[in-house]
Amino acid sequence: MDKLTGGVGAHRVRMAEGKRGVERTESERDAEVEDLRKRLMEREAELARFADQRHALETALEDLATHQEELRAQNEELRHARQINESLIQRYASLFDGAPIGYCIISNRRTIVSANRRAGWLFEAGANEIEHKPLHLFIHPASHAALSRHLDKVLAGGDATDEITVLGREGRELVCLVQSQPTTEMDAPASSCLTTFIDITQRKQAERALTDSELKFRNIFTLAPFGMMTLSKNGRLMETNEAARRMLGLSAHELRGMKYADLLAPDVTPTEARRLAEGQPRPGWVDVFERELRGRDDRRLLTRLTFAVMPSGDGKDVQGLVIIEDMTERRDLEARFQHAAKLTLLGEMSASLAHEISQPLNIIRLKAEGSLERLKRHGFDAERAEQGFAAIEEQVVRLFEVISYMQGLSRRDTGVVRPFSVSRAIASAVGLVDKQFRDDNIDLEIEDNLGDTQAIGRQHQLEQVLVNILRNARDALLSQEGIRLRNGEAARARVSASLEEDGDYLRVVISNNGPRVSQDVRLHMFDPFFTTKSGEQGTGLGLSISLAFINEMGGTILVENTDEGLAFHILLPRARQAIQPVAESEEEVAPAGPAPVVPGEATAGERPHVLVVDDEEVAAREIGAYLEAIGYRVTVALNGQQALEIHVTDPARAVITDLRMPERDGHWLIDRLRAGVRPVFIMIITGQAARSTKELDRLRQRADALLRKPASLRDIVRHLRGGVPHEHL
């Protein structure tokens, strides 16, 4: 630019000189102007190139500064990365050396290249004593073969895991889980491997202990003398032991997968299985209850079940464990025990029972002898004879009630509970002890507000409970302490019965004004063999058996000290059913079902044939004469064989038979009659006492009617007319 300015100035000087000195032509001037224009354009182009170069140089300087900044940042990052890398190396070196797992790098020559402190602890050696030593030196000889196979696999390029026993210098043996994989680090020897040693000695010990424990519990489950079974959450049987299979009479194959509810008796609700299925009980829930189980051929077992809920194998769900105790023999033993106590009570009451029997016998004898004497002296007086026979019948009924009670008390109560009259039980019990109380000057008061209200249970058992408590009250009132406490006051006992306010229970209270009892005695007075009497006066079983009886009926017994003395409260569930009380005395039993339909019934005017069978000919003839008098045709037989021969030639519509007879008894005759083609109405009249309620039920099932001796002619006719109807009778 400066050059251009200098040229223009010189040109102007020359022009001025030309004007003054030499005049040029116009064309020359134009040429010069054109030349100057070209030169100016060249100068301008050159100036533009210089400007581009300067811009490029400035841009290059800026890029250089940027690259320098980037290099400084990269250098900083590299320095920081080197620090991190060094830190990681130190950290991983610390982790390697301080790891709780033994680490070793093993060369292809099976020597230890390096090892951490944990490996040294496992091998019981320092690092300098381990490195460059064969690994087999630190392995138990029994594991050498396993280690060789392990390293062969790893050094060939694969991974391996084995359990190997490590042997320390001091003889310590440790079971280790050895895991190896080939190494690829640059500084590692060729074909080396990284091997870890994890001490699993305690785990193996725990596994062995667990195995031993599982074996022990498996043996307990399998060999237990009581039944055991496991249930799935949906209530199906998974496993059962031999005892359970033996109780039920079913094989393991039959039980597997069966529903728990199918093992229960039809009238039992499997609430525990339903709760298990609904997930209500938590693991650890245990309950004990009695259940009736059903085995092969509908065999029933009374059992005590312990039902427990425990976690399943996966721990995510629950399953049930059922322990079964067969209570059949125990219940039978308890029943025998209770029966023995009843017989003991019967023996203790023998004096009162003898009086109850001798009184009606005395009246019968006096009436009979008096009637005979009057017949001899004054002839027959119909009105007086009728009164005498009525009195004899009344005393026979009284005597029959006493005998029936004795037979009922001596019989084992094995039947089901049923509605019965509590008032009747109270009257029977009081009747048995009333004379003793009167003889001992003890006032016995009765307040019965129950009327026809019934309880659920067994009448004979309640009678025995009442007699036990009343006899205990009598003994307490007559004891030295009782006499001292009364201080001249009359001895009193009271029995009251009423319906509870809720209407669900009956309450019978037996109280007396004798001695009270201490708290310790109250806690133990219902325990077996506990008694405050001397060994000659009591066995300590009465109250224990009484409580068992009441508990079986669904009730309870409570004892309290009162202002006057002591009171026993008996609570029994009320019977809601409108069922007539069962005749516990077995005086009579209604026909088991509707009157049999006999083919070829007697036509109009024909008398029904009745066969009376009894080895007591007088009794048989008396029954036959009475039936003949009211329109029946009667044949008398003295044993079962004779009766069957008569029935074959002259079929009977009804057979009235005794059971115990010579030359074929009543059981034999009934079997033959039932096997015949034509049905026969069978009535049993027996004086044989049933030994248990089950035996009594079997007798009832064998006959259409069952009567106890001495039987009433009116009852015989009533049952006979119900079973063999005839329009002319």
Q: What is the pLDDT of residue 592?
A: 38
**Segment 329-335 mean pLDDT:** 65
Quick count: other Cβ atoms within 10 Å of Cβ 266? 7
Under 8 Å between Cβ of 567 and 511: yes
Among 153, 115, 152, CA closest to 132: 115
Under 8 Å between Cβ of 197 and 122: yes
3-state secondary structure 128-167: HHHCCCEHHHHECHHHHHHHHHHHHHHHCCCCEEEEEEEE
What whole-number distance in Å separates Cα of residue 462 and Cα of residue 495? Answer: 13
Buried-state track 510-545, b at ≥16 Cβ within 10 A, e below 16 = bbbbbbbbeeeeeeebbeeeebbeeeeebebbbbbb
What's the length of the chain? 729
118 versus 547: which is more confidently predicted?
Answer: 118
Q: What is the pLDDT of residue 604?
A: 45
| Cβ-based neighbours of 689, under 8 Å, separated by 6 or more | 407, 410, 411
Please report which confidence band the pLDDT of residue 368 belongs to, taking 50, 70 and 90 as the band edges.
low
What whole-number distance in Å separates Cα of residue 294 and Cα of residue 324? Answer: 13
CA torsion sign for 184, 190, 191, 195 is negative
Among the residue ranges 193-202, 310-319, 555-564, the one predicted with the least confidence is 310-319
**Segment 466-492 mean pLDDT:** 84
Q: Which CATH number fits domain 225-330: 3.10.290.10, 3.30.110.40, 3.30.70.1520, 3.30.450.20?
A: 3.30.450.20
Q: What is the pLDDT of residue 611?
A: 94
CA torsion sign for 470, 471, 473, 478 is positive
Q: What is the pLDDT of residues 423-449, one digit of tens each?
A: 988 988 888 788 778 878 888 999 998
CATH number of this structure's domain 609-723 = 3.40.50.2300
**Segment 251-261 mean pLDDT:** 84
Under 8 Å between Cβ of 472 and 557: no
Helix (H, G, I), strand (E, B) or coil at 4: helix
Q: What is the pLDDT of residues 271-288, one digit of tens each?
A: 776 777 766 667 777 887
Q: What is the pLDDT of residue 490?
A: 87
pLDDT above 60: residue 89? yes
**Segment 307-317 mean pLDDT:** 73
Q: Beta strands 418-421 and 300-311: pairing type?
A: unpaired
- Fold match flag (97-206 vs 609-723): no
Give yes or no for a cis peptide into 134 (omega within 30° of 0). Answer: no
Domain ranges across the chain: 97-206, 225-330, 334-410, 418-573, 609-723
**Summary mean pLDDT of the chain:** 77
Contacts within 8 Å (CB) and 24+ apart, 272-277: 272/305, 272/307, 272/320, 273/231, 273/235, 273/320, 274/235, 276/231, 276/233, 276/235, 276/309, 276/318, 276/320, 277/233, 277/234, 277/235
**Segment 89-107 mean pLDDT:** 79
Type of residue at 132: H
Contacts within 8 Å (CB) and 24+ apart, 117-120: 118/197, 119/197
Which tokens sit at 607?
């008398």
**Segment 69-81 mean pLDDT:** 86
Under 8 Å between Cβ of 138 and 146: no
Look up the pTM and report it. 0.39
Q: What is the pLDDT of residue 581?
A: 42
Please report which confidence band the pLDDT of residue 582 belongs to, taking 50, 70 and 90 as the band edges.
very low
Please report which confidence band the pLDDT of residue 598 belongs to, taking 50, 70 and 90 as the band edges.
very low
Q: What is the pLDDT of residue 588?
A: 38
Name the class of domain 418-573: alpha beta
Q: What is the DSSP string of 370-421?
A: HHHHHHHHH---HHHHHHHHHHHHHHHHHHHHHHHHHHHHHSB--S--EEEE
Q: List helix spans (H) across 224-289.
A: 242-248, 252-255, 260-263, 271-278
Among 468, 485, 669, CA closest to 570: 468
Q: Tell me, which fold does domain 97-206 have in CATH?
A: Beta-Lactamase (3.30.450)
Q: What is the pLDDT of residues 177-214, one digit of tens each?
A: 999 998 865 455 457 899 999 999 888 888 888 888 77
Buried-state track 219-245, b at ≥16 Cβ within 10 A, e below 16 = eebeeeeebbbbbbbebbbebbbebbb
User: Which of the listed ranges 156-165, 350-359, 661-670 does the model predict with the highest average pLDDT?
Assistant: 156-165
**Segment 320-343 mean pLDDT:** 70
Q: What is the pLDDT of residue 183?
A: 80
Q: What is the pLDDT of residue 690?
A: 54
What whole-number distance in Å separates Cα of residue 334 and Cα of residue 412? Answer: 11
398 versus 223: which is more confidently predicted?
Answer: 223
Specify the DSSP class assigned to residue 188.
S
Among the residue ranges 387-391, 513-517, 589-593, 651-655, the one predicted with the least confidence is 589-593
**Segment 365-378 mean pLDDT:** 64
Please report which confidence band the pLDDT of residue 712 belongs to, taking 50, 70 and 90 as the band edges.
confident
User: Which of the listed ranges 49-58, 573-582, 683-692 does the model predict with the highest average pLDDT?
Assistant: 49-58
pLDDT above 90: residue 635? yes
Q: Beta strands 442-448 and 491-499: pairing type?
A: parallel
